[in-house]
Structure 1
Amino acid sequence: MRMSIKKFGLAALGAMFGALVLGSPAQAANPMELNFGLFGPKYDGRLKPCEAALGTITSQFQEKESTFWNSALQIKAYGAVHEIAFRPWQSDNIPRRYCAADVMLSDGKLRQVYFSLIEDGGFAGFGQGVEWCVTGLDRNWANSPDCRGAKP
């Protein structure tokens, strides 16, 4: 008696599932569902010059070195700041300005920093974002080798 009730229950459950899945055909979207409420960023390509990112790089570098690497390294000075590329790919992509600069670190070594300013790339898409890499100090290999991932 028990087996037949279980079999009947499973059969009924299978029949209900089949009726739900196969019961009605899919319908096309109605006119209100087509492109209704779709909006997104309209990239203008208005990015600040390379020098505008230096303060952000300095503070983020110091925070990363002290927090993750237990290091007292800091960026002390910048030189030869220049743009490498602006929107190097199709114009439909998120606008980026790629830059490079020489940096003097607190240990007295001169290194290169490669960075990019990204339109609407800040926290939660507000403001300009900055991605950067200091050659020789990419310890987690996020842009390896030799900061190639931070270049266009």
Structure 2
Amino acid sequence: MRDFFRSLMRPVGGAALGVFLGLMAFGQAAQAANPLELNFWLSGPRYDGRVKDCEAALGTITHQFWEKESAHWNSSLKITAYGQIRETAFRPWQSDNIPRRYCSADVMLSDGKLRQVHYSLIEDGGFAGFGQGVEWCVTGLDRNWAYNPGCKAARP
């Protein structure tokens, strides 16, 4: 008896799909936007290039590094000191891009090793576009290869 009902449903399913596709064929074609819809109140980004200095990101990097190492890699590594903080580039590409300040610094880790950190401060790059955003990479500790090879993708 079950097979009887299944055999009845198969042609109905195919017919329903045919009717749906037939109705879609008679729908209206897409039209271009009229002048009011075109760029109405869409003035584009207004980046002023107000990006903080390199030193402003160090607290964020220290906290995020500790959080990543302890939560994801089960490591007790922490950044204990910074040295030779320097700007490597500011808005290195054309002016239509989001303003970024690229920096590098030497970091001393809790294991006693000296490494380099490459980072960028991004205008309106924080959560949901509010505040400065920071992207960083510690050379030799990019374990998920997000900026591989050797943190090259974190530099300009």
Give the TM bin, normalised by the shorter chain: 0.7 to 0.9
| Stretches of 4+ aligned residues off by more than 2 angstroms | 12-32
Q: CA RMSD in A?
A: 2.2
- The count of corresponding residues between Structure 1 and Structure 2 is 147
Q: Secondary structure at the match of 1:145?
A: coil
Distance in 1 between residues matched to 2:85 and 2:107, nearest whole Å: 9
Gapped regions of structure 1 (runs ≥ 5): none
User: Who is 1:70 aligned against?
Assistant: 74
The alpha-carbon distance between structure 1 residues 114 and 15, as it changes in their structure 2 partners (threshold 3 A), is: same
Deviation at 1:21, TM superposition (A): 3.0
User: Who is 1:135 aligned against?
Assistant: 139
User: Who is 2:59 aligned against?
Assistant: 55
Distance in 2 between residues matched to 1:58 and 1:51, nearest whole Å: 12
The alpha-carbon distance between structure 1 residues 16 and 71, as it changes in their structure 2 partners (threshold 3 A), is: closer
Distance in 1 between residues matched to 2:91 and 2:25, nearest whole Å: 47
User: Who is 1:89 aligned against?
Assistant: 93
Deviation at 1:144, TM superposition (A): 1.0
Match of 1:80 among 84, 102, 127: 84
Deviation at 1:38, TM superposition (A): 1.8
Q: TM-score of the superposition, structure 1-length normalised? A: 0.85
Gapped regions of structure 2 (runs ≥ 5): 1-7
Q: Deviations over 1:25-75 (max 9, x none)?
A: 443322321212324431111100000000000000010111011111111
Deviation at 1:20, TM superposition (A): 4.2
Deviation at 1:18, TM superposition (A): 3.5
**Structure 2: which amino acid aligns with 1:95?**
P
**Structure 1: which amino acid aligns with 2:62?**
T
